[in-house]
Structure 1
Amino acid sequence: MKLSVIGTGYLGATHAAAMASLGHEVLGVDVDAAKVAMLQSGTVPFHEPGLPELLADQVASGRLRFTTDAAEAGAHADVHFVCVGTPQRKGEYAADLRYVDAAMAALVPHLRAGSLVVGKSTVPVGTAARLLEQVEAADADLVWNPEFLREGFAVEDTLRPDRIVIGATSERAAKTLLDVYESMVTAGTPVISTDLATAELVKVAANSFLATKISFINAMAEVCEATGADITSLAEAIGHDARIGHRFLRAGLGFGGGCLPKDIRAFMARAGELGVDQALSFLKEVDSINQRRRARTVDLAREMCGGSLAGMRVCVLGAAFKPDSDDIRDSPALDVALSCQQQGAAVRVYDPYAMDNARTSFPTLAYADSAVDAAVDADVVLHLTEWREFAELHPAELSAVVRERRIVDGRNTLDRELWTREGWTHRALGRQSL
């Protein structure tokens, strides 16, 4: 089939390459000419394992190309995927829909009769119903097909999703999208067919549940710190309950990135507009717990340095909000780094992939070329992004360069016994020192 993908950021570039790999002819569209040129050359402008090879192969095959011309997309494709971002509005909780509206305004005048527009952007419930009128006026169909990508696993999640959700107002529209995903459906991927509003809610409801589970275990970590209990043992015990499970039960610095924080806030804002804000009032505490973990990490660093970070040298291991990504949006690691700097510390940061993004966005921080370089003369080391490189780092490598052997494990992934044996004072959220 002939497809277009409107918006070639993280979601759009991944979706375009994946659809081309299924045999479709795909045209990616973006207003950013520099990004389009980079993608057309087969280069991915962000870090995502497996995507550079996939995209380069599909561009070379001729099944995937990119343009800045929305009119060309209308002429090329029968199915159009809208994959633009919906960031949080500045100074508000609500989602900023200007990019969705701009994409639709650019695309709709060029739609052929009978074509299909597929919304994949995460939007407040009711957005699709608002857009439906202008799409139908062009004698086209609209469906909402939310994405469930995990950064670091985006290619796998696109090609082998755990479910396909289709919100549609006609059987024709739903069938057309199922034709696009035929190989996935044939492979046994569950399909949930529903209405537009429910499809919009699926993504934000899922993210709200995950955020709640993360904040729950972090709330238990606060209790463990007050009672001398151990959060890792607690999580292990309750995770064996099949109704709970172990996933998302690792206490630590909490969640960040471009999805969970802004999605739960936008969900709260939309609930207020709908007059059901009390139904989601618990998400305010979910957000609050998440922010408190960042502050508590700074507290631990300050406590280890005798009550003040003024004049201290702080090594920060991690800048990306999660491993296998260079995404620094709402990064807990960088939030902690900046807080330490504001309290008078000299902070040096290292991350395997997110250094360029961090330097551009936070130029006041100092940066290093390796974990060892970042730790030179450090009074305390903060482990804030759980990269495998850091988990495999032997304490002796840092012992030779630090001023004091003190580490805060903000992700509860380091071998506490090993670091303690090597003469380090080890602190972690929800755990006592050995």
Structure 2
Amino acid sequence: MKIAMVGSGYVGLVSGACFADFGHDVVCIDNDPKKIEALEKGVMPIYEPGLADLVETNVRGGRLSFSNDLGSAIEGAQAIFIAVGTPSRRGDGHADLTYVYQVAKEIGEKLSGPAVIVTKSTVPVGTGDEVERILSESGTPHKFAVVSNPEFLREGAAIGDFKRPDRIVIGAEDDFGREVMSEVYRPLFLNRAPILFTGRRTSELIKYAGNAFLATKITFINEMADLCEKVGADVQDVARGIGLDNRIGAKFLHAGPGYGGSCFPKDTLALLKTAEDFDSPVRIVEAVVKVNEARKRAMGRKVIEALGGSAEARGRKVAMLGLTFKPNTDDMRDSPAIAVAQALDDAGAIVAAYDPEGMELAKPLMPWVEMKANAYEAIDGADAIVIVTEWDAFRALDLNRVKSIANTPLMVDLRNVYDPADMAEKGFTYIGVGRG
């Protein structure tokens, strides 16, 4: 089957490469000529483990190609995926659907045969209806169906998530859409991946509801961490104790500096706006958004307090280990590290940082931070060491070396990577999250 993937960013490129690896003929389309040129040279626009090799294998096999000419690229495609960005709209927080609708209009004008148009981008309820209207008004004589097929890819584990999904959600309103999508995902039938067919609006809401629920779990355990610090309990044991209840589950119960990234912040906000539009408020999600934003800045204050307060923090050097919102990605969008670094700068601290993949994208977001070549360069002469992102490279630091080059053996571990007793034994002042 020929598949056209409009948008060669994170979702489009990963999905296109994986579809090609299943044996489909895939062309990834983007309106940025420089991106297409780079992809044709094997240069990835994002960091995702295994993606460069997957792309290279399928380009070499003739199953994956790239284009910035939408008209020729969609010719003969039975499934055309829309995988463009839907960032939060400035001013009101609604998902910005400008790119989705522009692509829909262009597809309608250039459609050359029967096809299913699939919204892979995360879009609010009712977007598929508008895409269908745009296609109908384009005057295309060809049969088409509009389907919702949300992505559930975790940055850093996206290829595995695509190839071994815990579910595939397809929102279709007719047999044509369902039949074509069944053929698209037929290779996954062998893995017995659960495929859930729903109505289009239900499918659109599933994505937002799922992300909002996971964001709620993160925020809940973060508030429990604060309570643990007050009462002298250990949040990691609390998380394990409740996570063993299979009605709750252990995932997303890791206390830390709050959620960030490309999905949770914008999707929770978009869900709030949708709820407002339909006069059906979601109070829990409202609280989650407010608490999470406050938490990021609070983690900066936690470091300042560890240094002895604002007066003592001025002029002191802080080493930040990790800048991306999670490990195994270079994504800096809404990373808690930004708020932590800003709070430290506001207090007059000198901030040095190291991240294995995110420093280039971090530089324009925090120009006052000194980027270092490795963790030990950042730690050298530091009065406090802060673990912000739990990269594997930070899980087994040479603590004797750290102690010898740091000005003060003080570690604020915002991801609870290290054991408090071990750190105390090695002569560190250690402060974790939710470990009273």
TM-score normalised to structure 1 length: 0.96
Q: Which moved more, 1:41-50 or 1:371-380?
A: 41-50
Could you say which residue in structure 2 is the equivalent of 1:20? 20
Q: Secondary structure at the match of 1:165?
A: strand
How many residue pairs end up in the alignment? 430
**Is 1:334 equivalent to 2:338 in the alignment?**
yes
What is the Cα deviation at residue 160 of structure 1?
Answer: 1.7
Q: Which residues in structure 2 correspond to 1:350-389 (within 5 Å)?
A: 350-389=354-393
**Is 1:154 equivalent to 2:121 in the alignment?**
no
CA distance in 2, matches of 1:330, 1:397: 32
Q: Secondary structure at the match of 2:152?
A: coil
CA distance in 2, matches of 1:187, 1:386: 31
What is the Cα deviation at residue 166 of structure 1?
Answer: 0.8
Could you say which residue in structure 1 is the equivalent of 2:263? 259
Q: Secondary structure at the match of 1:62?
A: coil
Question: Which residue among 271, 275, 296 is the counterpart of 2:298?
Answer: 296
Name structure 2 gaps, 5 residues minimum: none
Could you say which residue in structure 2 is the equivalent of 1:305? 307
Q: Secondary structure at the match of 2:150?
A: coil
Which digits, 9 at most, give the CA deviation of each residue in 1:220-273, with x for residues without a partner?
A: 112112222221121121112121121111111121001001100010011101
Could you say which residue in structure 2 is the equivalent of 1:95? 95
The AA in structure 2 aligned to 1:58 is N
Work out whether residues 300 and 427 of structure 1, in 8 Å CA contact, stay in contact via their aligned partners in 2: no
CA distance in 2, matches of 1:32, 1:55: 18
Q: Which residues in structure 2 correspond to 1:35-434 (within 5 Å)?
A: 35-136=35-136, 138=140, 139-277=143-281, 280-308=282-310, 309-432=313-436
Q: Secondary structure at the match of 1:396?
A: helix
What is the Cα deviation at residue 42 of structure 1?
Answer: 2.1
Work out whether residues 42 and 56 of structure 1, in 8 Å CA contact, stay in contact via their aligned partners in 2: yes
Work out whether residues 222 and 255 of structure 2, in 8 Å CA contact, stay in contact via their aligned partners in 1: yes
What is the Cα deviation at residue 398 of structure 1?
Answer: 1.2
CA distance in 2, matches of 1:425, 1:296: 20
Q: Structure 1 vs Structure 2: percent identity of aligned residues?
A: 39
CA distance in 2, matches of 1:95, 1:62: 36
Work out whether residues 235 and 435 of structure 2, in 8 Å CA contact, stay in contact via their aligned partners in 1: yes
Work out whether residues 107 and 135 of structure 2, in 8 Å CA contact, stay in contact via their aligned partners in 1: no
Q: Secondary structure at the match of 1:52?
A: helix
Work out whether residues 164 and 190 of structure 1, in 8 Å CA contact, stay in contact via their aligned partners in 2: yes
CA distance in 1, matches of 2:330, 2:135: 36
CA distance in 1, matches of 2:177, 2:286: 37
Work out whether residues 218 and 289 of structure 1, in 8 Å CA contact, stay in contact via their aligned partners in 2: no
The AA in structure 2 aligned to 1:332 is P
The AA in structure 2 aligned to 1:342 is D
The AA in structure 2 aligned to 1:232 is Q
Query: Compared with structure 1, are the counterparts of its residues 76 and 363 closer, same or farther at alpha carbon in structure 2 (3 Å cutoff)?
Result: farther
The AA in structure 2 aligned to 1:324 is N
CA distance in 1, matches of 2:265, 2:337: 15
What is the Cα deviation at residue 198 of structure 1?
Answer: 0.2
CA distance in 2, matches of 1:391, 1:413: 6
Which digits, 9 at most, give the CA deviation of each residue in 1:337-378, with x for residues without a partner?
A: 122112211101100111111124332221101110001111
What is the Cα deviation at residue 76 of structure 1?
Answer: 4.1
Which digits, 9 at most, give the CA deviation of each residue in 1:296-315, with x for residues without a partner?
A: 32222112211122111110
The AA in structure 2 aligned to 1:354 is G
CA distance in 1, matches of 2:22, 2:96: 32
The AA in structure 2 aligned to 1:281 is R
CA RMSD of aligned residues (A): 1.3
Which digits, 9 at most, give the CA deviation of each residue in 1:96-124, with x for residues without a partner?
A: 11111122122221113321111110011
Could you say which residue in structure 2 is the equivalent of 1:5? 5
Work out whether residues 268 and 285 of structure 2, in 8 Å CA contact, stay in contact via their aligned partners in 1: yes
Which digits, 9 at most, give the CA deviation of each residue in 1:272-324, with x for residues without a partner?
A: 011112xx121121122222322332222112211122111110000110001
TM-score normalised to structure 2 length: 0.96
Q: Secondary structure at the match of 1:75?
A: coil
CA distance in 2, matches of 1:77, 1:397: 58
Work out whether residues 210 and 248 of structure 1, in 8 Å CA contact, stay in contact via their aligned partners in 2: yes
Q: Secondary structure at the match of 2:74?
A: helix
CA distance in 1, matches of 2:107, 2:225: 49
Q: Secondary structure at the match of 2:315?
A: coil
Q: Which moved more, 1:235-244 or 1:293-302?
A: 293-302
The AA in structure 2 aligned to 1:178 is S
